[in-house]
């Protein structure tokens, strides 16, 4: 786990910074919720502060035997020691940087008891993790305490802290990025005539799992469905039986976690051949635009200014339709920059802010890590995607996915 590479003192410093911010907000303490198990998307806050990941899969959320499986909660008083509530006695004492760890068959009951013990039940309590805090868990807390708590939304208190990475975090992400390079390369190498999308996904998953990765998701599409991000709206979203043919347009976007930290890349190719002129236009466009966006990364530049840089490039290079498709455009013609111009997002312990959108005034800061992605499409040709992971530096941005080819036909 992370504590082998993230210094324990850094975990404590994060909690102290959060306590200070909470106190400045007039809060008496915080409750931080996270979900783990096989869903590697919302574990970040508790892992960031304690180095604990809940490893158990969720079952029925409420039974007589247990509730809150795959959840963990940190009760963090502004004054007093933190209490970590876990769903089973499964944590790594040598890694988790909290002394008071309490297993609970019913996680919400354990949280309620910790709130009563610390006096926070009668104070001003900030709640982080609204996106995974179940109504049933809130009800259990209220019933256990015999009263309601007026939670104060506090997710924003960790947003800026998590956006800017320490050098120790970047070292972990550098390794994750290179494993992500191998993951993507395994899938691209497997995209040959006669292979199925399922076999391609399997080739990537084999490499990723063997190197310590766990996927969050993969967008795969090819041939007649190459105009879509995903081959289908089903489980799985790739078509396991779809056989690739020579000349098919094929694209894949894969994102997942290595040691808690994300890698996220996308590539597009032509199966067993080079792109024709129409295919080359969109594939080369994605590569050139991502490079152009990254060249504009400097501390202090606003996210919306990066977005404006991208829109200007699209207009100047004949992709104006990517900004304003015709009102009667069908699905094949609707590009990804019409209603929500978007060129990427932060990554860390998940997919996270900042977002490179046209209304985001967040300034880039040194040691922010972003996945810079572009998708372009042409009616009758398909959709092409390209994505790189970079660290904002005072000078040139650092590419965490260096070594991953841009053109698979060369």
CATH number at residue 22: 3.40.350.10
Residue 344 belongs to what H/E stretch? Answer: strand 342-348
Going along 36-103, which residue ranges are E strands?
A: 71-77, 83-86, 100-103
Question: Are residue 127 and residue 211 in the same domain, yes or no?
Answer: no
223 found inside a domain: yes
pLDDT band at 144 (very low <50, low <70, confident <90, very high): very high
pLDDT band at 169 (very low <50, low <70, confident <90, very high): very high
pLDDT band at 244 (very low <50, low <70, confident <90, very high): very high
Residue 202 belongs to what H/E stretch? Answer: helix 197-210
408 found inside a domain: no
- Interhelix angle 277-295/303-316, rounded to 10 degrees, is 150
Of 111, 141, 162, the position where a domain reaches its end is 162
Contact 87, 44 (CB under 8 A): no
**What single DSSP character describes residue 132?**
G
Q: How far apart are CA 42 and CA 100, in angstroms?
A: 23
Least confident window among 237-241, 329-333, 385-389: 329-333
The residues pairing with 251 across neighbouring beta strands, listed in sequence order, are: 221, 268
What's the structural domain count of the chain? 2
Question: Are residue 203 and residue 303 in the same domain, yes or no?
Answer: yes
Q: Higher pLDDT residue, 327 or 213?
A: 213
Q: How far apart are CA 266 and CA 373, in angstroms?
A: 8
Q: Is 242 helix (H, G, I), strand (E, B) or coil?
A: coil
- Give yes or no for residue 329 having a pLDDT over 70: no
Question: Are residue 351 and residue 277 in the same domain, yes or no?
Answer: yes
350 found inside a domain: yes
The pLDDT of residue 278 = 94
Closest CA to 287 of 398, 409, 383, 385: 385
**Residue at token pair 């508790």:** 46
- Tell me the pTM: 0.92
Q: What percent of the chain has pLDDT over 70?
A: 93
Residue 261 belongs to what H/E stretch? Answer: strand 261-270
Of 118, 142, 162, the position where a domain reaches its end is 162
User: Which CATH number does the domain housing residue 171 bear?
Assistant: 3.90.230.10
Q: How far apart are CA 13 and CA 5, in angstroms?
A: 15
Question: Are residue 132 and residue 146 in the same domain, yes or no?
Answer: yes
Question: Are residue 170 and residue 158 in the same domain, yes or no?
Answer: no
The pLDDT of residue 341 = 66
182 found inside a domain: yes
Residue numbers of the domain that contains 106:
2-162
118 found inside a domain: yes
């Amino acid at each position: 786990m992370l504590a082998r590479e993230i210094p324990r003192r850094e975990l404590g410093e994060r909690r102290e910074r959060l306590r200070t911010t909470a106190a400045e907000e007039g809060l008496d303490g915080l409750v931080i919720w996270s979900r783990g198990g096989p869903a590697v998307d919302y574990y970040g806050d508790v892992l960031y502060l304690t180095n604990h990941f809940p490893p158990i899969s969720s079952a029925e959320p409420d039974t007589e035997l247990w509730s809150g499986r795959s959840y963990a909660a940190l009760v963090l008083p502004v004054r007093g020691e933190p209490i970590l509530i876990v769903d089973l006695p499964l944590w790594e004492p040598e890694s988790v940087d909290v002394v008071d760890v309490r297993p609970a068959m019913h996680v919400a009951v354990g949280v309620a008891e910790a709130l009563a013990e610390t006096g926070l039940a009668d104070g001003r309590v900030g709640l982080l993790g609204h996106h995974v805090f179940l109504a049933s868990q809130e009800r259990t807390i209220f019933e256990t305490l015999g009263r309601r708590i007026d939670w104060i939304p506090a997710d924003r208190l960790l947003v800026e802290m998590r956006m800017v990475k320490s050098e120790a975090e970047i070292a972990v992400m550098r390794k994750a990025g290179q494993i992500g390079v191998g993951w993507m390369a395994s899938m691209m190498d497997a995209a040959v005539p006669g292979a199925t999308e399922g076999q391609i996904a399997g080739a990537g998953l084999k490499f990723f799992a063997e190197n310590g990765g766990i996927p969050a998701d993969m967008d795969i599409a090819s041939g007649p469905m190459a105009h879509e991000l995903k081959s289908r709206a089903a489980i799985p979203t790739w078509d396991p039986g779809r056989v690739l043919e020579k000349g098919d347009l094929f694209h894949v976007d894969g994102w997942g976690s290595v040691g808690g930290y994300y890698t996220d890349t996308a590539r597009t190719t032509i199966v067993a051949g080079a792109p024709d002129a129409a295919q080359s236009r969109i594939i080369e466009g994605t590569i050139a635009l991502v490079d152009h966006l990254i060249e504009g990364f400097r501390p202090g530049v606003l996210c919306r200014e990066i977005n404006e840089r991208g829109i200007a490039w699209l207009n100047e290079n004949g992709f104006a339709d990517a900004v304003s498709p015709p009102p009667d455009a069908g699905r094949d013609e609707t590009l990804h920059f019409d209603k929500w111009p978007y060129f990427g997002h932060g990554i860390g312990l998940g997919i996270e802010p900042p977002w490179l959108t046209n209304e985001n005034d967040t300034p880039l800061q040194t040691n922010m890590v972003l996945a810079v992605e572009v998708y372009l499409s042409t009616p009758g040709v398909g959709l092409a995607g390209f994505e790189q992971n970079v660290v904002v530096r005072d000078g040139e941005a650092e590419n965490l996915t260096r070594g991953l080819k841009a053109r698979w036909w060369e």
